[in-house]
C-alpha cells in the first residue's frame, strides 16, 4: 500500500469501533488538479481513508484470534457525501463493525469535520490470507505507528 491515509487511530475497541484522524494538507498531491483555485479533497481518497481505518480495526481485532493475520480487501462501498473536505481540515473518522463472518465483515463509517458530516459509508471487506513476510512486516510496522498513542477500550 503506497498511500497511508489515516494519520492516527485515537481510540479502538476490538470487534466494535475505531476512531481515527485524517489531516488534509494543501501539500497533498491531489490538489494540483482537483481543483485549481477551488481545492477539494477527492471523494475516492476520502473513502480510501475510511476503508483503511475500518481495515485496521478488523486486522487489529482479529490478529490474535486465528491461524493467520488477515488482510482486509475492499469488496464493496455504498457512500453518501454530505460536504467537501478542503486543505486545512482535520477530519474525524469512525468505523463500526456491523457484522462479521469467517471470511467477510461489514462496517459502517462516518467522517466529520467538527459537527459537520462529510461522508458516511457502508464498507464490505473480504478477509484473506496473504503469505508474504515483507507485507506482514510492513503492515505490522504501519499498525504500530498509527496506534502509538491509541486509547484501547476494554
Residue 89 lies in a domain: yes
Host domain of residue 19: 8-152
Mean pLDDT across the chain, nearest whole number? Answer: 92
Band the pLDDT of 112: cuts 50, 70, 90.
Answer: very high
Q: Are 42 and 30 in contact (CB under 8 A)?
A: yes
Query: pLDDT by residue (tens digit) across 70-101?
Result: 899 999 999 999 999 999 999 999 999 999 99
Catalytic residue ranges: 34
Distance CA 70, CA 131 (A): 10
Query: How many domains does the chain divide into?
Result: 1
Query: pLDDT by residue (tens digit) across 32-49?
Result: 888 888 999 999 999 999
Strands 151-152 and 8-13: parallel
Query: pLDDT by residue (tens digit) across 59-75?
Result: 999 887 665 678 999 99
CA 119 to chain centre: 13
**With 80 as the cut, is the pLDDT of residue 133 above it?**
yes
Confidence (pLDDT) at 68: 65
CA–CA–CA angle 94, 99, 100 (5° rounding) = 105
Residues above pLDDT 70, as percent of the chain: 95
Q: Are 48 and 121 in contact (CB under 8 A)?
A: no
Cβ atoms within 10 Å of 106's Cβ, excluding its own: 17
Residue 3 lies in a domain: no
Residue 86 lies in a domain: yes
Residues above pLDDT 90, as percent of the chain: 74
**At 88, which CATH number?**
3.10.129.10
Question: What is the rounded average pLDDT of the residues 10-31?
Answer: 93
Q: Are 7 and 24 in contact (CB under 8 A)?
A: no
Confidence (pLDDT) at 37: 87
Distance CA 73, CA 114 (A): 30
Q: Are 110 and 117 in contact (CB under 8 A)?
A: yes
Residue 1 lies in a domain: no
Residue 47 lies in a domain: yes
pTM (global) more than 0.85: yes
Amino acid at each position: 500500500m503506497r498511500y497511508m491515509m489515516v494519520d492516527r487511530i485515537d481510540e479502538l475497541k476490538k470487534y466494535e469501533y475505531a476512531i481515527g484522524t485524517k489531516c488534509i494538507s494543501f501539500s497533498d498531491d491531489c490538489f494540483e488538479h482537483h481543483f485549481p483555485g477551488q481545492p477539494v479533497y477527492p471523494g475516492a481518497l476520502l473513502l480510501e481513508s475510511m476503508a483503511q481505518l475500518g481495515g485496521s480495526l478488523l486486522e487489529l481485532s482479529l490478529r490474535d484470534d486465528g491461524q493467520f493475520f488477515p488482510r482486509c480487501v475492499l469488496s464493496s462501498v455504498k457512500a453518501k457525501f454530505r460536504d467537501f473536505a478542503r486543505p486545512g481540515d482535520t477530519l474525524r473518522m469512525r468505523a463500526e463493525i456491523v457484522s462479521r463472518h469467517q471470511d467477510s465483515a461489514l462496517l459502517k463509517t462516518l467522517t466529520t469535520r467538527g459537527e459537520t458530516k462529510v461522508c458516511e459509508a457502508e464498507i464490505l471487506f473480504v478477509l484473506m490470507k496473504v503469505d508474504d513476510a515483507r507485507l506482514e512486516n510492513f503492515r505490522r510496522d504501519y499498525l504500530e505507528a498509527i496506534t502509538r498513542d491509541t486509547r484501547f477500550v476494554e
